[in-house]
Every structure is written in structure tokens, then in C-alpha cells.
Chain A
Amino acid sequence: MTVEIGHFALVLAFALALVQAILPLAGARLGDERLMATGAPTALVGLAITALAFAALVAAYVASDFSVANVWENSHSAKPLLYKVTGTWGNHEGSMLLWVLILSLFGGLVALFGTNLPATLRANVLAVQGWIGAAFLLFILATSNPFARLVPAPIEGRDLNPVLQDIGLAIHPPLLYLGYVGFSVSFSFAVAALIEGRIDAAWARWVRPWTLAAWIFLTGGIAMGSYWAYYELGWGGFWFWDPVENASFLPWLAGTALLHSALVMERRSALKIWTVLLAILAFSLSLLGTFLVRSGVLTSVHTFASDPTRGVFILMILMLFIGGALALFALRASELSAGGIFQPVSREGALVLNNLFLSTATATVLIGTLYPLVVEALTEDKISVGAPFFNLTFGSLMVPLLLVVPFGPLLAWKRGDLYAVSQRLFAAFGLALAVIVVSYALIDRMSVFAALGYGLAAWLIGGALTDLALKAGLPRASLGVAARRVVGLPGSAVGTVLAHAGLGVTLLGIVSVYSLEVERFVTMKPGDTLEIAGRTLRFEEVTPVRGPNYVEDQARFAVFAPDASPQGEIVSAKRVYTARRMPTTEAGIGTFGFSQLYVSLGDPTADGGIVVRAWWKPQVTLIWLGAVVMMVGGVFSLADRRLRVGAPAARRKKAALPA
């Protein structure tokens, strides 16, 4: 019964999404408050019903109900419980249902927390969310129904793709979808503003927390995906400029630009039209990512089974929403009043510069991602645009952007004093120079470029710390006063510092790995040792191990520090999943400080040895820790009470109003 209730709930959610798409919109047109007010309850009940459908599917997975075709295709009764649950979204149908669930979650949140919104804006936003939800629910019901049944039910499932049987599947897709779909709220706000033909500072203030939340999740999702690929695919790469990765990176770039431009709009009422456009673009790029990954245009571990009708359907959704929003933009943008004016050298100017660089970078990555697809569609030639293209173009756009990042937060609004800001950044500049010189002089195999990369990272971190110190009143105030002020700083200020410092931390990791990585590729027998970056790796033994749904040969390596003291053990394995007879490589990773020793097994040789690939990856974890720092910065900024319009804390300051 559960399964059929889930199916019915899904159908009902579609019907309700249609109502949510039409009634509030009609209400806003007619000016009828009751009709407008239907948006919130339909969104909330829609969320509950969609959640019920999703829960029914999860229950079917947990119970190994192979009468559900989707469960049979992607699950196995011997799988550990965690992977039964995560397997729910480890396939096309289930992941689309998760997508819709998160969409209705955001709709429900807007309904709950949007009580302060002007009634028409709220109605229109919820209606646009309803349109998106209805379109994707229809897509699921028409082409990818997860509740299709199988009679008679097979006795055993086909198991989940072994690469996906990992804790990463529990974290990466939900985070990524929270990010992707989170931008739908910004999109809905933008479209609602265009429908109303009215946009103001308040709009930016309402949009920013949603964008920020989506951005935090997307940052986490991308970082998690990168770390997952790093340890699961067995050769320790962390970013491949793979089209699917780019598909998630594009909305991130656009979203980052949107965060900054929304700031200008909120504070200075400027960049309104641009901000609306960015909000549309950020979600459009999310949709494009969904299309690229889900249509089967690209083949990767993300693609699952592909079906041409799905691709066409998503393409239609894509054209409807992107085309519709851009057409509305073209019609209405001229009606939006232009904002305030400002000097080129000012906080606004710096943020415009940020947007210029970020949108150019977005366009670059977009072209690099789509160009091979277009060429293949037109000429049937297969070309690939790989890392060299992206490193060159994207890299040369990022370096100047990162160079000016520390200036931004120090410049005053409206008109800034570049000379004064430069003086304040003198310490950070000195730090960067010192890092360049010291790292070049002291570290072996350090290239000039790598030293400059270190310098840039130090410049970013130093700049962020300078910002923090200045906001705390240093150097005029005493240390005690400064410490108290740091605690009392508004969350958004701390958020800026952390996000920019996080960039530096990530950069530090990337430069270290690119310039100082050591790789060894040898055949080893038990008892053999391997010298890598000063450490010694001793191959102890190979033991066969039986897991719940796989068998593996575990190779154990003892690690010794340069002074020969033991530093624990690394276990690397070759695993075969019995249901699909599919082998995977389980890399062994030892973490030493921020660096990692990465050991991956190759094939056994005829004389009883085994091919071992080992990498020393200096400071590699900083790549992801930097992302975590950025996320924490985002959370600080999101928690800033000033963003919650009409919250009690803001009301108490009524006395401060002059009028």
C-alpha cells in the first residue's frame, strides 16, 4: 500500500502545483487578497505531499520491494541500510524526485518565512515556484516515474552502481540539489519582480538570504563531489573540468556574482536590472546543468540510464523557463527604474569589477562546456575541450580577480580612496612578498609560478585578516577592545572575511598539489618498501575480505616517518561487487597534517607482485577545507540578523528613525 500511496501523493502534488501556479498569479492580477493567499497553504501542503511520496520511495528501497521497477534496477537486498536509503536518489528517477522535493521545500520555506513580503510579490514568487514544480512533476510522471511496478516481482535487485555505494552519495547530491534548486527562489523573485514591473532595495534584501543559502549548499556540494571523485576514482584528481563538473560550477560562478551584485542593489539601489538578469541566469544555468546531466547528452557516472524522450522533455522545460524569463526580462527590464550612481573607485565599483570577471569566467566555462557538444551535433566530430583550455582561460581571468579581492571590502561605498586602501593593505602585501621569497628559497622543486601562487594565496588571506583587523578598530584600539569588537561584528562582515580567506586557503591547496605533488609507480611484493617524499611505505600483506555485497583484496601498507618512527597503516583495496561483477579501486589514504599519502592498487603481475601507485599530495586537504571556510563565512553572513527583514531585533531600533 505504501508504494501506491506514494504514487498517488506524487500525482496529487502535481495537481496541487498547478493550482499553486495559477491561483496566486490570478490573485495578484485581480488584486484579490484571498486568491493571493492560496499560495502559502498550497505550497506547504504540496511540500508535505511530495515529502510523503519521497518517503514512500525510500521505504520501498529500505524494504527491498522489488515489485517497484526502480528499486529492482538500483538496489540489492544485501546492501547495507545506508546505501539502500541513499540508493533512492542514486538513479535518474529517484534523483529527479529529490530535485522536486527540494524545490517544494524551498517553496514551503518561502511560504513560511515570507510573511513579511509584500502580498503580491509573495503570491507571484510562489506561483513561479509552482510553475517550476508542476513542470518537473509532469516530467517525472510522464518519462521517469519512480513508482512504476513490476509484476511478478523479481527476487533480487540488480544492485546500485558500486562507484555510488559510498557515503558521498548520502551528502553530495542532496547538497548539490539544495544549491541548484535554491537558485530557483532567486529566479522566482526575479520573475515575480518582472511580472509586477517593480523592483526596489527591499527586493534585493529578500533575495540575498535565499541566494546565500543556495550558494552555501552549492559550495558544499561541489567540494564534496570533488573530494568524492578524488578518493573514489583511484587516481587522486580533484577537478577534471569534466562537463558535468562544469555544469555545477557554472551556477556557482553566476550565483557568486549574484551575491555580490545583490549587495550593491540592497545598499545602493544600483545594478537592479543586472541583478535581476543574474538571478535568472543563475537558475537557468542550474537547469542547463540538469539538462546536460539528465538528458544523456553527456555520458558519465552521473548519467544513469538515458532515454531520448527525457532529454527532449527537459529541453522543453529549459526553453520554456529560460526563454520565458528572458522574454519577460526583455519586455519589462526597461520599466524598472535605474538605480543610484557611484564613482568607479568605490565599493560598488569593486563589486561591478567582481561581476565583470565572474560573468566573463562563467561565459568562458560555458563555451568550453558546450562547444564540443555543438561541434558534435553539427559535424559529428568528437572534440574535447580539456583542462589546458580551462586552466589557461579561466586561470587568467581568476588571477586578476583574486588580486583585487582584498581591495573590495576596504573601499567605502559611493566613493573610495584607493591610495588609503593600498596603504592599509601594506601589511598583507608584505606578507605575500615574504611568502613568495621564502617559499621559493626554501622549498625544493619550487617553480616561480608556484611561489607566485603561494604569494597570491597569502595576499588573499592577509587581505581578509586586514579587513577584520580594521573593522575591529586596529591599530588605533587596544587589543582587548579589538577582540571585543570582533565578537560584536555583524555576521556579514565576518562572512566576507571568512569567504575571502577561504578562497586563499583553497588556492594554497591547489598550488601545492600542482607544483609539489610526488608520484611513484612501482611493482611491489609483500615486504618491499617504497620511498616517497621522505616517508617510507612498506607493503605488508594482501588479505581477502568479504563485505556485505562485495569481496575485496586488501593490501596493507605500513607508513614510516623520515625518522623511521611508525605512522600507522594505509589500507588500499581492489573490490569486486558480486551482483554486478564490477571491480572498483578503493584508494588508501593517510592524512599527515594537511597533506595526504594516496595509495592505489593496479593489477597483479605474473610473478606475484602488485602494481602500486602512490602519490604524495602536499596540503591537498586545504582545497576542500577552503571551501568549508567559505561555507562557514556564508553561514555567518546568513545568520546576520539584519538580513531578516522585520525581525524583532530590527523593530526595536524604531526609535532611531528620524521621521
Chain B
Amino acid sequence: MTGFWIVAAVLTAAACAAVLLPFIRARKPPAGGSDIEVYRDQMAEVDRDFERGAINAAEAEEAKAEIGRRALRAADADAASARTARTRAARTLASLSVFAVPVLALGLYWSLGSPGLPDQALQARLAANPTENSIDELIARAERHLVENPDDPRGWDVLAPIYLRVGRVEDAVLAYRNAIRLNGPSAERDAGLGDALYRIAGGIVTAEAQAVFERALAEAPDDPKANFFIALGMAQQGDAAAAVERWQAMIADLAGDSPWRGAAEQALARTQESMGEPAEGNGPTAEDMQAAAEMSAEDRNAMIEGMVASLDQRLRDNPNDADGWRRLIRSYAVLGRQDEARDALRRGLEGVGLSTDDGRALMRFAAEELGIEPAGNP
């Protein structure tokens, strides 16, 4: 910071000195050349041309005569303009300028510049003490190291979970694969890779992810991450009962302070909920019903419409919910909106899977109880 102001002061002083220089210098500045020198030069050139034989004597004489005439005119003009003076106004102007330069420069810099903001050369940033680095800088640092040593097993091991944490899932998959290639599989690496694959798939435990989690469990049967996602996969495939069982077993085994406990408990609750066991918060509550009874027919319809719409929306987000679909189809049928009921059935079949038990049950329910066939070709 002080260094900056010293340099700035030196530069400003140099600029002011440039303005003052002609006033400090005792001797007269060079008067400057004049046209006469050009004509002298032209005369010499005519002579050279004559010597070379490019022009004859008569032409040379004529040319010299003309140059001479011009030189005379120029000499007159020079004499007329050669008067120079030292005026008081000049001194005032120069002093004003010497004052204005620093004021203008500092004022402009103050409003435009970022005084005191240090340079941030990339190399220096990366070489700084790691505890002062931001997470991006740490990542860049590790990446740089790996570009130079692509087969460093530790580097990939360190980088992969960080990628996962900052959400660079594609990079995380690559890093985990490299770590597994160089270090061999381990429960931690496989579970991490599975997590990354799950996120790339947009929150679905794909077959690939499932295989990786199973490999992790082969290494460490009680790895909580792998267990959690295996169970989630079961739930996503519609096997809610197996998922619940798995989560319950997992929660029982977990250490009390495990970060996975909360996640597993929540997932368990959600799944049980969708299975319809404790159906809290899913259908209308007692208060809702009470409120509905006191409303006008119009308001009641509006409330029912609203609840149906919110159910519809929830199922769009989470389509693997056979009970939800059943309720939605029934609601539409009761409201007399047959087209929407058929559409809901189609979406429900897509959501839970046409060939699953749930799907078949849903189709049966719709056809037998409500007389509704799916819209279009599911």
C-alpha cells in the first residue's frame, strides 16, 4: 500500500517536472529548424542529379533558380515569425497545470480505481497457505497438481469428495473412477461414486449406481451411505416395504451420532407415509373437513379444487406413489372431470410402472370402481 503511494507520487512528480522543465532550464530551448534547410537540401539534390547526368545544365540552373526564389520568400516569413517572448500569462498557465495534474489524476483515480486492492496473480494465490485458500482455490490447486501428475492416487482421493460437495458431479464421477483405478475399490470410494451417479441421474438410483453401492456393501456391509441409497433405490422401484425394513435395520445399527441417522429417519417416515400407514398430513385433516363443512358450496368447491391441484402437483414431482394416484383419480372422477381422471391414470401408470403390482392394482381399481380406462396408449 505504501509502495503504491510512493510510486504514484514519483510518477506524478515526473509528470509535473515535464511541464516545468522548460521553465527551469536556464538556457534557451533550441530555436528549431526552418524551411531554409529544406531548400539547401534541395539544392544539393539538384547538384547530385546533375552530376549523375539525370538532368542537363540548363535544367539544373532553372531548378536552382526556382529553389532560390522560394528560399528567399521563406527567409522573409521566418524573420516575421521569429519573434518570441516570455510572458507572465505563460508562467501562470504552467503553474496552474502543475497544480491541476496531481489534483485531476488523484481525483479521477480515487473515483475509478481500487486503491489498496492487491494484485492476485494466480500462481501466488495457489501457492498461499492452504488455510487461506477458498474452496475454489483449493480445487484449482489440486487440479493443477493432477494435470502434472495424473497418476497420483492420493490427489484423486482428496479431490473426488470435494467435487461432490461443491456439486461438480460430472467431475466427481471422473475423479472417483480415477481413484478406484489407481487405488482399487473401497467402500468409501464406491459409495461416493454411487452418490455422484445418483445425482447425475437427477436423484434416481440407477442400475449402475445400485451396482456400485452393492460393491461397496461387499467391502463393508454396514456402510451407512451405501445402505441408505440401496434402500432408496428399493423405494424408488416401488418396493416400499423392503425399503422400510432396510432403513429400520440401518437405523438400529447406526451409532447414535451418525449423520446418516437423520436422513434415514426422514426417508423412512416419507416412505411409510406414502405406504399409507400413518397417513398424517396427506389427506385433508380434521380441521380442513370442519372448515369445509362451514363454507358455502362455492368456497368448498374452491377448496377441494385447490387440494386436488396440490395433490396433482405433488404427484408430478413424485410420481412413484400408487396411493396418491388412486386418490387423485378418484377425486377427478367424483368432480366429474373424466378426461383428467383418465389422464391421471395414464400418468400414474407411467409413474409406478405398468407391469408392477402397483400398476396392475391401479388399473384394476380404476376400471372396476370408477369405470375409467387410461387415456391414450400408456
Contact = CB atoms under 8 A, between A and B. Distances in A.
Interface of A: 1-5, 7-9, 11-12, 14-16, 18-19, 22-23, 26-27, 30-38, 41-42, 44-46, 48-49, 52, 60, 63-67, 77, 115-122, 141, 145, 147, 149, 151-156, 198, 200-202, 205, 267, 269, 340, 471, 473, 485, 490, 642, 645-646, 650, 653-654, 656-659
Contact of A122 (B32, B39, B84, B136): B32
B335 interface: no
Contacts of A115: 30, 32-33
Contact of A656 (B28, B47, B53): B47
B286 interface: no
A341 to B, nearest CB: 12
Question: Top 9 nearest A-B pairs by Cβ distance?
Answer: A116-B33, A63-B121, A653-B44, A37-B22, A45-B18, A64-B122, A202-B35, A32-B90, A67-B120
Given A14-B108, A64-B123, A473-B53, A32 B85 contact: yes
Contacts of A656: 43-44, 47
A12 B11 CA distance: 8
Contacts of B38: 201-202, 205, 645
B297 interface: no
A1 B7 CA distance: 10
A118 B39 CA distance: 14
B276 interface: no
Contacts of B22: 33-35, 37-38, 41
Interface of B: 1, 3-4, 7-8, 11-12, 14-15, 17-19, 21-23, 28-35, 37-45, 47-48, 52-54, 64, 66, 68, 70-71, 74, 77-78, 81, 83-87, 89-90, 93-94, 97, 100-102, 104-105, 108-109, 112-125, 134, 136-137, 139-140
B108 A11 contact: yes
Contacts of A117: 32-33
Contact of B123 (A15, A63, A198): A63
Given A4-B115, A15-B15, A49-B11, A38 B35 contact: no
Contacts of A49: 11, 14-15
A320 B153 CA distance: 65
Nearest to B114: A149
A30 B70 CA distance: 28
Question: Is chain B's interface secondary structure helix, strand, loop, or mixed overall?
Answer: helix
Contacts of B42: 201, 267
Nearest to B28: A33
19 contacts: A9-B11, A12-B101, A15-B102, A23-B97, A30-B85, A30-B90, A33-B28, A41-B22, A67-B119, A77-B122, A118-B33, A118-B35, A119-B31, A200-B77, A201-B70, A645-B33, A650-B40, A653-B47, A656-B43
Given A1-B118, A65-B120, A646 B37 contact: yes
B44 A650 contact: yes
B15 A12 contact: yes
B93 to A, nearest CB: 6
B119 A63 contact: yes
Contacts of A141: 108, 112
B113 A658 contact: no
A485 B54 CA distance: 12
Given A118-B33, A201-B70, A60 B119 contact: yes
Contacts of A267: 42
A3 B117 CA distance: 9
Contacts of B44: 642, 650, 653, 656
Given A8-B8, A12-B15, A149 B105 contact: no
Contacts of B78: 118
A16 B3 CA distance: 22
Contacts of B40: 650, 653-654, 657
A632 B115 CA distance: 48
A76 to B, nearest CB: 10
A64 B120 CA distance: 8
Nearest to A268: B66
Contact of B113 (A7, A34, A60, A645): A7
Contact of B45 (A30, A149, A642): A642
Contacts of B115: 4
A35 B90 contact: yes
B89 A646 contact: no
B114 A16 contact: no
A15 B19 contact: no
A201 B18 contact: no
A490 B45 CA distance: 10
A65 B119 contact: yes
Given A32-B85, A202-B35, A659-B68, A153 B120 contact: yes
A1 B119 contact: yes
Contacts of B33: 115-118, 202, 645-646
Contacts of B119: 1-3, 60, 63, 65, 67
Given A23-B94, A41-B21, A654-B40, A11 B105 contact: yes
B137 A642 contact: no
Contacts of A473: 52-53
A15 B70 contact: no
